[in-house]
């Protein structure tokens, strides 16, 4: 059954909803906890975990600015589950890992050198070019891993 957001959420709200997973308001602490669970060996569904990390109440509200109730959050969650159902695991893992690293930096667990920060401030286009290079490299690595045949031992 197809979920029609227009029936569940007023047009004034649906026209302002995030369109891509990168635009969703994520609670990075939940992602830190997710990474810890995966390190402990838990198997996960990336889309479910991405949606579980969304800060639904803080980021979404009704037309009058009131936070959404549980039923509205449920509808929004179902909408995004269907909307992003075809988004691949590499993309989701990349997004979650980027948010994880951002949180590590915010907590002071990872520090950038003054020279690296100067590069960011002085040459933002160069900074973005470097980021894009590594993002594409990680995507290709993941793609190759997905396509690799398992080796018999």
Q: pLDDT tens digits, residue range 24-37?
A: 999 999 999 999 99
- In whole angstroms, give the CA distance from residue 124 to residue 130: 10
- In whole angstroms, give the CA distance from residue 10 to residue 113: 47
- The whole model's pTM is what? 0.73
The string of pLDDT tens digits covering residues 93-130 is 888 998 999 999 999 999 989 998 899 899 999 989 99
- In whole angstroms, give the CA distance from residue 10 to residue 14: 6
């Amino acid at each position: 059954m197809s979920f029609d957001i227009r029936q569940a959420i007023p047009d004034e709200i649906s026209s302002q909803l995030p369109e891509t997973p990168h635009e969703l308001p994520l609670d990075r602490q939940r992602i830190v906890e997710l990474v810890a669970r995966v390190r402990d060996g838990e198997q996960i569904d990336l889309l479910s975990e991405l949606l579980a990390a969304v800060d639904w109440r803080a980021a979404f509200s009704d037309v009058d600015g009131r936070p959404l109730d549980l039923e509205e959050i449920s509808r929004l969650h179902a909408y995004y589950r269907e909307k992003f159902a075809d988004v691949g695991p590499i993309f989701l893992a990349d997004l979650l890992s980027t948010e994880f690293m951002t949180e590590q930096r915010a907590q002071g667990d990872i520090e950038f050198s003054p020279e690296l920060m100067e590069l960011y401030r002085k040459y933002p286009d160069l900074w973005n070019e470097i980021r894009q290079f590594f993002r594409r490299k990680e995507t290709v690595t993941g793609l190759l891993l997905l396509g690799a045949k398992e080796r018999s031992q």
